[in-house]
A and B are shown apart, each in its own frame.
Chain A
Amino acid sequence: MSITRRQALKSASAAVLATTIAKPAIAAKDPILIGYLPALTGPSSSTGIGINRGVQLAVQEINNAGGVDGRQIELIVRDTQSDPTKAVNGAAELTRGQKVNFVFGPVNSGEALAVVPMLARINVPQLHPCWVDTLADPTKYPLCFRNGPTNQQIGGAANRYVVETMKLKKVAVISDTTGYGTASVVAYVPMLKAIGADVVYQAHVDASNPDVKPEMLRMQAAGAEAVMPWSVNAGFLSRLINTRGQMGWDVPIVGQTTLGSGQTKALLDKPEHWAKVYPNNFRPCCYDATGKLPERTKVFVDRVRAAKIDMNDTLLWWIALGYDSPMLVADAIKHVGTEPEKIVGYLNQLKGFPGVYGDIAFTPEQHNGYPDRQIVMVEANSLKDGAFNMAPGYGAA
């Protein structure tokens, strides 16, 4: 039997129609693909490993509870290896090859600086927690949202703690010679002056110099009542802390989270040198004056412990941030589905998403979702189970 061209076209049309009709029913069962770009290896991996524990827990909880409207979340992970080039390659593969519905990450600013402009051209919504100020801009990157603080917020919290809480006016601000360090000093000195501080000393210091005593002596001679170093170099920060101890100078050191890291602690001559060192942290992940975590965080920590997730070698806020991120993505998809425009529209109106790491809110004009009031300073020497005591002077939340 021969088949005419008209019959063939009819058959083809019927097949196409059948496929098209059946598609929504199948799509509803398809997993939701979330691309995920952590640094699980390489020099910046300590953050990524901590965040990853929270991400995996969240995805496991969502899927165990039946997924999002019956659809499981499938996390497609590409380890950036702390390398911006690999992060870009991973992002391209996730979006063009895997066709993910959403991207979470990268989780380090250096990688995000390379990935965010690239994803902005591909029409895939993105969430990241990186601090560099320019990494969230609704005009340039309308699909990109930040659920962490900006550097301005971090510096602002430290500045307010020194000037308004500790009532210290004469401040020394120093950094290493990295881009992060120099940019921080340039940004934070005017902020300090704007709230009434007298910046008596500012300098960029060669972090490889083994002797920082000259810098400390100059700061002391300038009358500094607080020292604010901006660096992620644990060797440099520990030398400052050790030298302060050897000089017997009782000045508080206030600044970046690395001041409270395990790497900094390992390089201290004496544990007591860590007293009066106040790094940044986040109120929902800190012990209050009575030594307790906020109720929401306490419940979360119990779930983390039940899941046998190790908290001793990482920080609670990393795990909490990782946990909140897939939860936020799932919340958006649950409300509006996986269309990029609808997700962006939903996030643009998000008000007070109740995260463990913090309450997140966005507007069409403001894609920086982390609130100022939740950024605090903590006592570096109080680390226990990944969390710190808030520094003296903070009241209840």
Chain B
Amino acid sequence: MVQSIVLSGLAIGCIYALIGITYNVMFSASRVFSFTAGTLGMIGGVLGSLFILRMGMPIPIGFLLALAGGALLGLVTEIVAVRPVLKSLDQHLYVLSTLALALMVQQFTAIEWSTEAQPFPRLLGTARSAFDEQFWLPMLACLAVIVGLELLYRHTLIGRAFLAIAEDTYAARALGLPERSLRMTSFALAGAIGALAGFAGGEMLLAFFGNAPLLTFYGFVPVALGGMGNNRGAVVAGLLLGLFQQSANFLVGGIFASVAVFTVFIIVLLARPEGLAGAALQRRV
């Protein structure tokens, strides 16, 4: 039982963490919480199944095209749902605009793809075992993204430019950084990360339009718990969420598992509104 809790808990936790990172990458570039993050995860699974199973493409090609599809949707998010509301961030219009876009994509997927869960390909075709590829693929994807982002942010010029934008948009623009291009690149990157979450977790979650709201909600929990914009916090909180959710599934079961997750979520936020790893918000007076 412990093995099952740990394996499936870490796997689903990695998917949540990746969606949390998707939120954060978009947030860092724009100060906008885009609720298309879960939809990007869903679209990764659906496009993977579409390209590989329905269209018969080789897995590497299908994988790259699924990531490209996610990146494209990330760009569309920036252009359609984020850019028009950037000037009025204090009114939180982005909640409506990004949710509206997410719902549109979700409904379009339901109509054009299917309202039923569809099969997702067995990516490596390994024999089924306790430590199955459906569990370790999301872990591998999460590790690759963490390492990749660390390398990007710490060791490349463009990565430092991303950090500069995230730190202070006005100062970065005053220094001559192309803020709009960097923001669009961030959204494309976030789209690809979201699609990777859905693709790597496709064997668990299947190619299902209904995964979008699931990932939107559960993917937001690591962001809130880990501290907004804090990728390391999102990863730790995502893994804890997955493990806690699976433990609750085993211990209390049924719908009570979801109740347990959100009860703990609310208690943690009441105790630490800035999140477990976030810094307390300071207001200049």
**Which of B98-106, B142-150, B159-167, B246-254 touches A?**
B246-254
Within 8 A of B (CB), among A252-308: 263, 266-267, 269
Q: Which of A174-233 contact B (CB under 8 A)?
A: 177, 203-206, 208-211, 213-215, 217-218, 233
Please measure, in the bound complex, the distance between the C-alpha atom of A206 and the C-alpha atom of B12, giving whole angstroms.
15
Closest partner residue, chain B, to A215 (CB atom): B253
Check A214 against B116 for contact (C-beta < 8 Å). no
State whether A206 and B208 are in contact (beta carbons under 8 Å apart), knowing that A234-B116, A266-B118 are contacts in the complex. no
B210 at the interface (CB under 8 A from A): yes
Residues of A within 8 A of B (CB): 42-43, 177, 203-206, 208-211, 213-215, 217-218, 233-235, 238, 246, 263, 266-267, 269
Find the B residue at minimum CB distance from A82. B115
| Residue pair B115, A203 in contact (C-beta under 8 Å) | no
Chain B residues lying within 8 Å of A203, measured Cβ to Cβ, are: 253-255
* A217 and B205 contact, CB distance less than 8 A: no
Chain A residues within 8 Å of B205, by CB: 210
Q: Is the CB of B257 within 8 A of A206?
A: yes
Q: How many Å lie between the Cα of A209 and that of B250 in the bound state?
A: 12
Q: Known interface pairs A211-B12, A235-B116, A266-B119. Does A246 touch B128 (Cβ–Cβ under 8 Å)? A: yes
Those of B1-54 within 8 Å (CB) of chain A: 1, 4, 8, 12
Chain B, range 57-86, C-beta contacts under 8 Å to A: none
The reply to whether B4 and A234 contact each other, CB–CB distance below 8 Å, is no
What is the distance, in angstroms, from B14's C-beta to the closest C-beta of chain A? 13
Q: For the complex, what is the distance from the CA of A29 to the CA of B254, rounded to whole Å?
A: 61
Q: How far is the CA of A206 from the CA of B116 in the complex (A)?
A: 16
CB of B176 to closest CB in A, whole Å: 47
Q: How far is the CB of B154 from chain A (nearest CB, A)?
A: 34
Q: Are B246 and A210 neighbours in the complex by a CB distance under 8 Å? A: no
Give Cα A215 to B254, complex, Å: 7
Within the complex, the shortest CB–CB distance from B10 to chain A, in Å, comes to 12
Interface flag for B177 (CB, 8 Å):
no
**Binary contact readout B198-214 vs A (1 if CB under 8 angstroms, 0 otherwise):** 00010011101011001
- Give chain A residues whose Cβ lies under 8 Å from the Cβ of B210: 208
The yes or no answer to B110 lying at the interface (CB within 8 A) is: yes
Contact B118 A209 (CB under 8 A): no
Partner of A267, one of B115, B206, B253, B257: B206
- Asked if B240 is an interface residue, CB under 8 A from chain A, the answer is no
Q: Are B246 and A269 in contact (CB under 8 A)?
A: no
- With both beta carbons as reference points, the residue of chain B lying nearest to A201 in the complex is identified as B253
Q: Which residues from chain B contact A269 at a C-beta distance below 8 Å?
A: 128
CA distance A263 to B246 in the complex (A): 27
Contact with A along B218-240 (1 / 0, CB 8 A): 00000000000000000000000
Q: How many angstroms between the C-alpha atoms of A233 and B257 in the bound complex? A: 20
Contact A211 B204 (CB under 8 A): yes
Q: Which residue of A lies closest to B211 (CB)?
A: A208
With both beta carbons as reference points, the residue of chain B lying nearest to A237 in the complex is identified as: B117
* 23 A-B residue pairings within 8 Å (CB atoms): A203-B254, A206-B254, A208-B211, A209-B257, A210-B12, A210-B206, A211-B8, A211-B204, A211-B249, A213-B4, A213-B8, A214-B246, A214-B249, A214-B250, A215-B249, A215-B254, A234-B117, A235-B206, A235-B208, A246-B128, A267-B117, A267-B206, A269-B128
